[in-house]
Structures are given as structure tokens and as C-alpha cells.
A and B are shown apart, each in its own frame.
Chain A
Amino acid sequence: MIGVRCINLAKRYDDVVAVDGLSFIVNRGECFGLLGPNGAGKTTTIEILEGLLEPDAGEVEVLGLTWKQHHRELRQRLGVQLQETQLGDKLTVEETLRLFRSFYHRGRTLDELLRIVELESKRRSWVGKLSGGQKQRLAVACALAGDPDLLFLDEPTTGLDPQSRRQLWALLSHFRQQGGTILLTTHYMDEAETLCDRVAIVDHGKVIAEGPPPELIATLGAPKVVTHQGTLEDVFVALTGRHLREE
């Protein structure tokens, strides 16, 4: 069963090529990571898959359906968390969640959602008063409201403190265990290694390597530096000749 299939995706903005013939497949039930530096085309790719952007060329299939023919059904079956979305500051956690839940024809109850993201004690707090980690968990709760088959996450832990990141990782692992499929973007190597079954390393709008993190690390051969074990970061540096988080 295939969660996401995209073939030869291309998208350009004016004179900038954001995505340049990108292809990969995400199987149902796996967590797949798009890894790459800022500006590599990760967000453009995920927004095309989310049906928010029209690709210039290429084919997209999500859960065996296409955006053109099954737009409404797909919206009901997907959960989406976008980069840098600010939910309304002056609504409470519960009100925000209830709003998103109202869009879905089936899914979890508000109490369940609040419990999953550990925001029960904050249900009557204004969103504007939440910490960064709490806001991000609320964003994920909104994405989970319709009990989705597939979750899209665009840099879910950027800007969070280590504790909040781990809390979110646990939440996503739980979703995986329930049979959910995840496609996420990140530029944190440890995040990809912890969460993802497979990753695609993206640079300049193309996939330059793809596979399970341990395999990618193994392709490096013997670790050059004996004092530390090989990481995905080493893979990226070896492939692109530059450091991953270099701007």
C-alpha cells in the first residue's frame, strides 16, 4: 500500500527553480523524512503533496487518490501541520481544537485529542499564552483532529527546546504505532534518525540520496573519525560537500 507517490515533480517561482524533477514513494505505515538545508525545496514539495500548491510538472498520488479528482476526500483523510502558522491568540486551546474538529466528519473526541497532546490542563488557556512547545503540540492536535491516515509535518520541532522536541517525538511515535503514515521535513539529523524509517536527502530541488538512515550512514564506509559514530550529517556533508545547516 502506498501512502504518497510523486514522480518528476517540478515547480519554479519566477526565475528560481524550487523543485527540479523530484521523485519518491512513501509506504503506508512508515515515517518518511525529507531532509535538507533551508531553501532545498522541502516546503514547496510538501505543500504540493498537501494540495496547497499546483506543481508545474510531475505526478502526485496521495493514499492512491489524486487532488484533482478526490480533493474533498483527501482533505478529510489528511492531517497537516504547516511551518509558521500562528493560531488565533485569543481563542482557548479547547475552542481552537473544537473549531478544527468541526471540519471533519469523523475523528477523535476533544478529550482524547487533549489527552494525546498532553494539553488537558491548558484547555481553557488562550493560545497566545502557551509556550512554543505547547503551541506546536496544539498544532499537531489540530492535524490529528480528523484521525488522519497520513500526517504531513513541515519542520515540526524547529525552534523548540530539547524537552519539547522529545515530547513531540513521543507523540508522533504513538501515531505511528497506531498504524499512521507520516511525511515530515526537517533539517535536524537527530530527528530524522529517531523518527524516520526512510529519508530522502534533498538539495537544489532534487533527491540526492534515499534509504533508511543506518543504510545511508553505512554507505559512507568506515567512519572517518574514530571518536564518533557516523551520522546522517556525515552522509550529507559527504554528498554535498558542505555543512547541512549552513545558510
Chain B
Amino acid sequence: MAGLSIDRGGARHPLIELSLGRLREFAREPEAVFWSFIFPILMSVTMALAFPGGGNKPAIVGIPQGAGAAAIREALARDPAVTVRDVPAGGEERALREGDVHLLVVPTAPPTYRFDPDRAESRVARLLVDAALKRAAGTADPWTAREEPVQLPGSRYVDWLIPGIVGLSVMGNGLWGVGFPIVQARMRNLLKRLVASPMRKREYLLAQIIGRLIVLTPEAGAPLVFGVLVLGMPIRGSIAAICLVCLVGAFSFGGLGLLLASRVRTFEAISGLMNLSTVPMWVLSGVFFSATNFPQSMQPLIQALPLTALINALRAVILEGTTLIGVARELAILAAWGLGSFATALAIFRWR
């Protein structure tokens, strides 16, 4: 069609008008704006508080009452890596179960260690206590190793966590931000009105994603800037690469948002679908702990999830300085999810 002969009476291309409409509606919803920006920052702060530094916490050891308890207490008090906590008689089981103490040292001769071997901090406590007590009993260390404590920015838990939060933010806002307004428009009969006009369906769907992409900069940017300025997180890759990864991620989840919203007519239904699709990714995709912790047999599935791909790409670019070529596989996974969802949504979309 000859583009020159089209007179839009002062309006711009429909794709632009539709995207602007979406953006305006978002910007005029103060609560949506607040949560989009504040939530990721709140989450980063909370996690930073909950997991300060790494393994520099002292082992907490409980000593039940009894003959010999005083000697053990005295021996352990000399070790700065061990904190001794009194345990009331009869409360030993409870203290262990609740994690109040990592290890119980029962003053028998020789001492008895009670602990849960599945807990990493309990195993550490056992090693520390065992060494301290043997040393106090007169065992000589064959040698003392030279220690070189290393704490590089970028190797801390929060540095690893922030890209995960950025990924969550992109996912949440892509899915909810695209899906909810569509269901609302369907409930209001607005979709039906739009298809009664000469509007192109694919332009409407595309505009729902584009309208969100513009919001993406502050959304993904908020936790990143917070991480850099407040937590001293390093950024080793290029800003352009980070932006592009976020953009492809937002397109991917925007497409998925369209797909989830393509048929449903109620907020309850869309909420259910959103939770059904996001909760497994919260758990599996390595936001809070590495996805490699899951069994090998699950890895093909986990690695194919869009959130896993997004977070892996973000961590690689931000923390390791990987180039876009290095994360090509992740970008391809994200693009495949985005394009596949978009095409399916366009085909099955309910316009009434």
C-alpha cells in the first residue's frame, strides 16, 4: 500500500499511537508505577540484610548442663570462631531444631557431638569445636597454614543476587504488565471495539509489549543502580550489552504475557495462569540459589526456561564481563520464547 496516500488527520502511525496509549495508561496508574520501581529495590535491600557477607559468621554451640561443661566452655571461649550459648535443660532438641545452635556438645568423656549432618553450618561447627577441644586437650597442631582471606567485589552473594532480582523484575513486569491490561480491555469490550475498526491485530499486540519496553529502563535500572551505588556491585560487561539482554528478556516475557492473556476473561483466571507460570521459575531458575543445585536430569528443562536464560545472561554480562556473543545461546532461548508466544497469541487471541 502506498504510504504517501495515507492521511491520518494529525495522528501518528497506529503502532506508535497504540504504544503511547499503553504507556500513558501505565504512567497514570500511580500504584503500578510505585510497585514496578520500588519492589525490586525493596527485595534487594531485604536480601542484602538477610545474607550479609559470606561465611564469616561464628559457629553457635550449645552446651547442656553437667559435669565437665565448664571446662568445655572455657576451651571454646578462646576460639573467636565459636560462640557458646547456654541451653536450658530439656530444651536441647528444640534449640537444634530451630537453628538456635548449630551443634550441641554434650560434656561426656570424650565429648559427644549432636548435630544435623545435612546442615552445612552444623558440619562447620563440628570441625571448629573438635579442633578447639583437641587443642585444649594438648594435641599439637603439626603445622599452621598461612591464610589469605579474599573478598573481591563481585564474588559476594548480593552481587550474585542482584542480576537475579533484575531478571525477576523483568519477568514480573513483562507478564503482569502486559497480561492484566489486556484482560481488562477484554472485560470492557474494548478489544471488540478495536477489531471493529481497521486496526491491525498484530500491531495492537506488538504495541502492548513496546509500551512496556519503554518502562523497562527504570524497572531494570532501579535494582542495578541500587546494587552499584549502595552495595558496591561491580559491572564488568558493557552497559549496552546489559540493556540488550534486558530488552530481549522483556520482549520474551511480554510475548508470554500476551499468550497467557490471549483467551481469559477474568482477573482471577489471569492471576492463576500468571502464578502457575512464574512460581516454578522463581524456584527453578536460580534467582536466590544456583539452578545447578537441582538434579542433572532436570537441567535441560531448567536451562530452557526463559528466566534461567535471562538471569544466566545477566550474571555473565554483569559479573564476568561476557560479551553478547558469549550469551548468544541465552538470547536465542529468550527470542524463541518471545516469538513463539507472540505467534501463538496472535493465532488464538480472543478479541471479544
Answer whether residue A75 sits at the interface, using C-beta atoms and an 8 A cutoff.
Answer: yes
> With A52-B352, A91-B24, A91-B25 in contact, is A102–B14 under 8 Å at CB?
yes
Q: Is the Cβ of A104 less than 8 Å from the Cβ of B24?
A: no
- In the complex, A95 Cα to B10 Cα: how many Å? 11
Q: Is the Cβ of B7 less than 8 Å from the Cβ of A107?
A: yes
**Residues of chain A contacted by B10 (CB below 8 angstroms):** 98, 101, 109-110
Answer whether residue A105 sits at the interface, using C-beta atoms and an 8 A cutoff.
Answer: yes
- In the complex, A126 Cα to B28 Cα: how many Å? 10
**9-residue interface stretch from B60-68, B190-198, B300-308:** B190-198
> With A102-B11, A110-B9 in contact, is A91–B21 under 8 Å at CB?
yes
* Mask: chain B, 135-173; 1 = CB below 8 Å from A; 0 = not: 000000000000000000000000000000000000000
Choose one: B17, B25, B197; the contact of A98 (CB below 8 Å). Answer: B17
- In the complex, A104 Cα to B18 Cα: how many Å? 14
Answer whether residue A88 sits at the interface, using C-beta atoms and an 8 A cutoff.
Answer: yes
Q: What residue of chain A has the Cβ atom nearest to residue B22's Cβ?
A: A88
- In the complex, A98 Cα to B18 Cα: how many Å? 10
- In the complex, A52 Cα to B198 Cα: how many Å? 12
- In the complex, A100 Cα to B199 Cα: how many Å? 8
Answer whether residue A50 sits at the interface, using C-beta atoms and an 8 A cutoff.
Answer: yes
Interface residues of A in 95-122 (CB under 8 A from B): 95, 98-110
Q: Is the Cβ of A102 less than 8 Å from the Cβ of B25?
A: no
Minimal beta-carbon separation of A142 from chain B (angstroms):
8
Answer whether residue B6 sits at the interface, using C-beta atoms and an 8 A cutoff.
Answer: yes
Q: Is the Cβ of A86 less than 8 Å from the Cβ of B189?
A: yes
Q: What residue of chain A has the Cβ atom nearest to residue B26's Cβ?
A: A90
- In the complex, A105 Cα to B188 Cα: how many Å? 26
Q: What residue of chain A has the Cβ atom nearest to residue B2's Cβ?
A: A105
Answer whether residue A178 sits at the interface, using C-beta atoms and an 8 A cutoff.
Answer: no
**Residues of chain A contacted by B192 (CB below 8 angstroms):** 52, 82, 85
Answer whether residue A55 sits at the interface, using C-beta atoms and an 8 A cutoff.
Answer: no
Q: Is the Cβ of A101 less than 8 Å from the Cβ of B189?
A: no
> With A75-B197, A99-B17, A104-B198 in contact, is A86–B7 under 8 Å at CB?
no
Choose one: A80, A99, A107; the contact of B196 (CB below 8 Å). Answer: A80
Q: What residue of chain A has the Cβ atom nearest to residue B197's Cβ?
A: A103
Answer whether residue A231 sits at the interface, using C-beta atoms and an 8 A cutoff.
Answer: no
State which size class the interface on B falls in: 20 to 34
Interface size on A, residues (CB 8 A): 35
Main secondary structure of the interface of B (DSSP, over half): loop
Choose one: B25, B188, B198; the contact of A103 (CB below 8 Å). Answer: B198
Q: Is the Cβ of B21 less than 8 Å from the Cβ of A108?
A: no
Answer whether residue A76 sits at the interface, using C-beta atoms and an 8 A cutoff.
Answer: yes
Q: Is the Cβ of B198 less than 8 Å from the Cβ of A75?
A: yes
**Residues of chain B contacted by A105 (CB below 8 angstroms):** 5-8, 198
Interface residues of A in 144-197 (CB under 8 A from B): 145-146
Choose one: B24, B195, B199; the contact of A95 (CB below 8 Å). Answer: B24
Minimal beta-carbon separation of B50 from chain A (angstroms):
38
Q: Is the Cβ of A99 less than 8 Å from the Cβ of B21?
A: yes
Q: Is the Cβ of A109 less than 8 Å from the Cβ of B24?
A: no
**Residues of chain B contacted by A102 (CB below 8 angstroms):** 8, 11-14, 16-18
Minimal beta-carbon separation of B315 from chain A (angstroms):
37
- In the complex, A156 Cα to B198 Cα: how many Å? 21
Q: What residue of chain B has the Cβ atom nearest to residue A83's Cβ?
A: B189
Q: Is the Cβ of B190 less than 8 Å from the Cβ of A101?
A: no
Q: What residue of chain B has the Cβ atom nearest to residue A72's Cβ?
A: B198
**Residues of chain B contacted by A72 (CB below 8 angstroms):** 198
Q: Is the Cβ of B17 less than 8 Å from the Cβ of A146?
A: no
Minimal beta-carbon separation of B17 from chain A (angstroms):
4
Q: What residue of chain B has the Cβ atom nearest to residue A152's Cβ?
A: B196
- In the complex, A78 Cα to B248 Cα: how many Å? 38
- In the complex, A216 Cα to B6 Cα: how many Å? 45
Q: Is the Cβ of A108 less than 8 Å from the Cβ of B193?
A: no
**Residues of chain A contacted by B5 (CB below 8 angstroms):** 105
Answer whether residue A87 sits at the interface, using C-beta atoms and an 8 A cutoff.
Answer: yes
- In the complex, A85 Cα to B186 Cα: how many Å? 10
- In the complex, A59 Cα to B193 Cα: how many Å? 23
Q: Is the Cβ of B21 less than 8 Å from the Cβ of A95?
A: yes
**Residues of chain A contacted by B268 (CB below 8 angstroms):** none
Interface on A for B, CB 8 Å cutoff? 50-52, 72, 75-76, 78, 80, 82-88, 90-91, 95, 98-110, 126, 142, 145-146
Closest 4 CB pairs of A and B: A102-B11, A75-B198, A86-B188, A80-B196
CB-defined A-B contacts under 8 Å, sample of 24: A51-B196, A72-B198, A75-B196, A75-B197, A80-B196, A82-B189, A85-B188, A86-B190, A87-B190, A87-B193, A88-B185, A98-B17, A99-B11, A99-B17, A99-B18, A102-B12, A102-B17, A103-B14, A103-B199, A104-B8, A106-B7, A142-B197, A145-B197, A146-B197
Given contacts A52-B192, A109-B9, 14 further A-B contacts (CB under 8 A): A50-B196, A51-B196, A82-B192, A85-B192, A87-B190, A87-B193, A90-B25, A91-B21, A99-B11, A102-B8, A102-B18, A105-B5, A108-B9, A110-B10
